[in-house]
Amino acid sequence: MSNAPVDQGRRRFLTIATSVVGGVGAVGVAVPFIASWNPSERAKQAGAAVTADISKLEVGQLIRVEWRGKPVWVVKRSPELLEQLPSINNQLADPESEVDQQPAYAQNIHRSKKPEIFVAVGICTHLGCSPTYIPTEFSAHVQGVNAGFFCPCHGSTYDLAGRVFSGVPAPKNLQVPPYMFLDDNTLLIGEDEGSV
């Protein structure tokens, strides 16, 4: 050991330099670690909103769009089918859509923003099957109803507003996802005006 006096300035410099290098190293380790908590680009795309071109959608036609791995149906309804909706309320389990299966703007008799355009997740609320769209001759499943959705797995039936008929296994109306019209021909599924 030396009897030389301790250089306090040098000691302070080495302490500060070591602390700074250690702090930079800690940040260098923390940034990638915290970034790994964020969803991947693939996961972000899987949950992202999707657009649907409805410019060529004809009356009575259904198109399918995939959103979050689920089929989403877009149907253009005729004025005649829209007029029939109130007349079958007494046959439905939830005619007023009181069970929360849709955004507030779709809690109406049409369950949609625009009466002629119906948007719904095409998954039966019973066991997750995908019902079949029957644009004509639906009266074979529900007497007096011209068009609707029929789930062949267990016989659940829905009207053209996705409202479930009474006495079938499905407990709820079809889910209506959040959506908005970007223009008259483009639908954005997965977002609405309140979330943008």
Q: What pLDDT digit, counting tens, does each position of 75-134 carry?
A: 999 999 899 899 999 999 998 888 888 899 888 999 999 999 999 999 999 888 889 999
Residue 2: per-residue pLDDT? 66
Question: What is the percent of the chain with per-residue pLDDT over 70, rounded to a whole number?
Answer: 93
pLDDT confidence bin for 41, thresholds 50/70/90: low
Q: Reduce the secondary structure of the chain to three states and give it as a string.
A: CCCCCCCHHHHHHHHHHHHHHHHHHHHHHHHHHHHCCCCCHHHHHHHCCEEEECCCCCCCCEEEEEECCEEEEEEECCHHHHHHHHHHHHHECCCCCCCCCCCHHHCCCCCCCCCCEEEEECCCCCCCCCCEEECCCHHHCCCCCCCEEEECCCCEEECCCCCEECCCCCCCCCCCCCEEEEECCEEEECCCHHHC
The predicted model gives 13-36 an average pLDDT of 84
Residue 73: per-residue pLDDT? 95
Average pLDDT, rounded, for the chain: 87
